[in-house]
Structure 1
C-alpha cells in the first residue's frame, strides 16, 4: 500500500498511518475491523480539501465505516443557520465522505447501532465519547484517533500496534472509590455525568477503576454519560467499573496496590455547580438541550414516561433533542417521540446543538443534563448553561425558569 500498489489514494493514507506509527514508536501496524470518522464535521477548507483529495485519488474505505455528527441536519433543512459560504462546503464535506464509502450515519454514538464492535475487536474510532464507550463499555480496542488519521485508518484498514490496542496499556492506573455514593443518587443519569466530570479531573489521561458501585444501578446510558464527560473534563479514553465493565468483572492483579481516592456526593454537587455558568438559581430559562451524546431509544422511553400526564412546555422555553436518524426512526416507530413533540420539543438529527448554530439568537440560557453539552456549549456557541437532572430540566421547561430539586443530589 505504501508503494502505491493499491492506488495513490491508499498510498497517501498509508503515509499518514506510518508517520503516526513512528510518532508512537510502534514497530508494526495491525489490522482493524471498523472505523468511525470525526473529520466529517466542517471546520474549514483544509478538511474539505483533504477528503476530496483522497476521493479524487480513488481511495475507498477498506472496513465498515460510520460517520460522526456533521455540520448540517439533512432531515430538517434550514434548521442549522449557516451562511451559504459555510453551508455549501459543509454539505460538500459530507458528500466527500460518502464518496469514500462511509455509511451516512451522522451520529456521535455509533455504539447505539445494531452493528457495533464486539469484545476484543480492534477498531479505529474518533470522537471522544465514542472512543471511551468502545473501550470501556464494549471492551473493543481503539486509540484516541483524531481528524484525518481516522479516515486514513479506514482506507488502509491498519493502525499502529500501540496504545490502547495493547493489553499493558489497558490496566487501571488509579482507583476511585465510589462506595460513599448512594444508589438513589446514582439513579440519575446527570449524576453519572457529574461523576464523569470528577473522574476526568482526577484521572487526566490515566485509566481509572471505579469501585463501590452496585452493578444494579448501572446501564449503558449512565456509562455513556460518565464516559462522555470524563473524556471532556480530562483525557479519559478507557475506564473500568468493578464488577460491571467487561475487563473488570473480577479483581485483577495489582488492583489492591492502586493509589485510591474517595469520591463523595459533595464532589458531585461541586461538579454540578462547576458545570453551570448561571449564578441565579431561579433564572429565566430559554431552552433545554437533551441528547449529547445522541439520545438513545431507551432515553426516549424514559422521556416519554416522565412526560406522561404533564402539561406542555412553557412557550418561552424550547426543548431540543439531539439524536441519530437511526434511533429516531426506531423511537418514532415505537411511539416514543410524539409525547415530547406534542409538548413543544424539537428534534435535531445528523448534528448537535452545541456545535452548530441551531438555537435562536434569543436563546441564551440553556439547561441540560449532559455534562458534555455543559462543558463545550459556553465556548462553542456563547450561551449560559445550567446543569441538572432530566427531572429538573423538564420541570424547568414547563415553568420557563430554572427549577432545582436538591434532593436528587444527595
Structure 2
C-alpha cells in the first residue's frame, strides 16, 4: 500500500507511540484487503464502548496512556449501562466500574459522549458521499444506504485506530465501484397499501437481510413516502439477520433513484422475491415463547427517537403499565432531554414507563433482575434476545407492546392485512 511521507513518519513512530500503533493496525488491515492507499475520513463512530472483556478496556486505556487523541470528531456507541442513572438500572459494581474506565479514557482522548446506536438522528449526521468510519451494524447500514455516506463495517478496536489517525484504508464500500447492487429483491404480493402497517418494516428488513447475506441487495416495491424511523427499523433488522453494510431501495435511497442507478448500469446477478408468507414466517420465528405472559417490555433497539416517544405516549392514552410488567425504553441523552423538556417524559413515567440513556437494551445487568420473557417492537432485539440475554421473546408492534404492558398478557395482533 502506498503511503505518503507523513504516513510513513507516523508508522515509524515519529508522531508518538499511540499514533504508530494505530497506523500499524490500519496499514495491516489495508494490505490484507488490497487497499492502494489511505483516504481521509471526516468523522468516526466507535463501537468498542460496551464492556464485555477486560482486553477491550485495557486496549483503550493503553492508547490513552500513550497520549492518543482523536484527530477527527468521534462519537460513541452505547455503554453497557446507563452512565447517568446506574442505580436505576441496578448496575453491577464491576460492570459499572469497567464502563466508567472506558468512559474516562474515551473522554480524555476527545470523544463526544453521545452513547447512542442511532447517531444518524442527532449530532454529526454525515452528508451524501462523505467518507466516514462508523462501527455499529445498524448505523453502518443506515449511513451507507439512507444517507449515502461511505463507510466499511468497522470492527471493534479498528474504529479507534481510524479515529486517532483520521484516515482509513481505501477499499470496500468507500469506493464507488463496490457500492453497486448485486441482487434484485422484488416484493411479490405486498402492495404499497400494506406499508401503512409499521410492523412490516422490521419484518421486511429481517427477511431482506437473510436473503442478502453479505451481498448488496436492491429492494423494489417500497413506497417513496417511507418515514425515517421505519427505515431505521429496516436497517437494524437487515444488519442483524445478514451481514448487510449497504442496501438500496429503488426510488427511495440516494444511490438508487432508478434500478439502473442501483446496479450502475449492469444487470442483476440474481433476482429474488419476498412474499407475504415469508413475512409471516419471519414474524413467527421472532417469537420463542409459547406462554401468554411477558414481564419485560424493551423498546429502543436502536435507540428511540423523539417521534417514537410521542407515538408511544399516544398509545398509552392515560393508561398504566400492569404491576407484573417492567416497561423500559432506551434512548440517547439528547432525545431524553427533548422529551423531558416537552413533558412527554413525565407523561410516560406516570404511565409506568422507565426511560434509560446511554445503554444497550441487550446488555442490562441480568443477574440483578429476574425477567423471564421480553417483548419488543424491534426485530433486531427479538433476533438477538435469547442468545444475548437468555430471555424468551415475543415480537410485536409498539401498540402490541403497550397493550401487553397494560393488561399483563401478551397481545400480538400480527400484521393488519392478515386479520381479515
Structure 2 length normalisation: TM-score?
Answer: 0.93
**Alpha-carbon distance in structure 1 between the residues aligned to 2:94 and 2:361:** 20
How far off its partner does 1:407 sit?
A: 4.9
Check conservation: 1:123, 1:141, Cα contact below 8 A.
yes
Structure 1's 88 and 116: CA in aligned 2 closer, same or farther, altered over 3 A? Answer: same
**Alpha-carbon distance in structure 2 between the residues aligned to 1:219 and 1:358:** 34
Does 1:42 find its partner at 2:51? yes
State the Cα RMSD in Å: 1.6
How far off its partner does 1:345 sit?
A: 0.5
How far off its partner does 1:315 sit?
A: 1.2
Partner of 1:259: 270
Q: Deviations over 1:79-104 (max 9, x none)?
A: 34443333212211111111111111
Paired residues in the alignment total 406
Partner of 1:122: 131
Q: Deviations over 1:260-318 (max 9, x none)?
A: 212112111111111110124xx11212111100001111122122222x421111111
Partner of 1:57: 66
Partner of 2:347: 339
Unaligned runs of 5+ in 1: none
Partner of 1:270: 281
**Alpha-carbon distance in structure 1 between the residues aligned to 2:391 and 2:209:** 23
Structure 1 length normalisation: TM-score?
Answer: 0.95
Which of 324, 328, 334 is residue 316 of structure 1 equivalent to? 324
**Alpha-carbon distance in structure 2 between the residues aligned to 1:118 and 1:289:** 31
Check conservation: 2:90, 2:368, Cα contact below 8 A.
no
Does 1:223 find its partner at 2:231? yes
Which of 380, 383, 386 is residue 388 of structure 2 equivalent to? 380
Which of 191, 199, 208 is residue 199 of structure 1 equivalent to? 208
Q: Deviations over 1:302-356 (max 9, x none)?
A: 2122222x42111111110010011111122222223221110001110022112
Partner SS state of residue 337, structure 1: helix
How far off its partner does 1:188 sit?
A: 3.4
**Alpha-carbon distance in structure 1 between the residues aligned to 2:83 and 2:201:** 32
Does 1:366 find its partner at 2:374? yes
Partner SS state of residue 154, structure 2: coil
Q: Deviations over 1:106-165 (max 9, x none)?
A: 111111114211000000000101100100111000000011000100000011110000
Check conservation: 1:265, 1:409, Cα contact below 8 A.
no
Does 1:181 find its partner at 2:207? no
Check conservation: 1:125, 1:144, Cα contact below 8 A.
yes
Structure 1's 269 and 255: CA in aligned 2 closer, same or farther, altered over 3 A? Answer: farther
Does 1:293 find its partner at 2:291? no
Partner of 2:290: 279
Deviates more, 1:158-167 or 1:339-348: 339-348
Check conservation: 1:189, 1:369, Cα contact below 8 A.
no
**Alpha-carbon distance in structure 2 between the residues aligned to 1:376 and 1:46:** 23
Partner of 2:253: 245
Partner of 2:405: 397
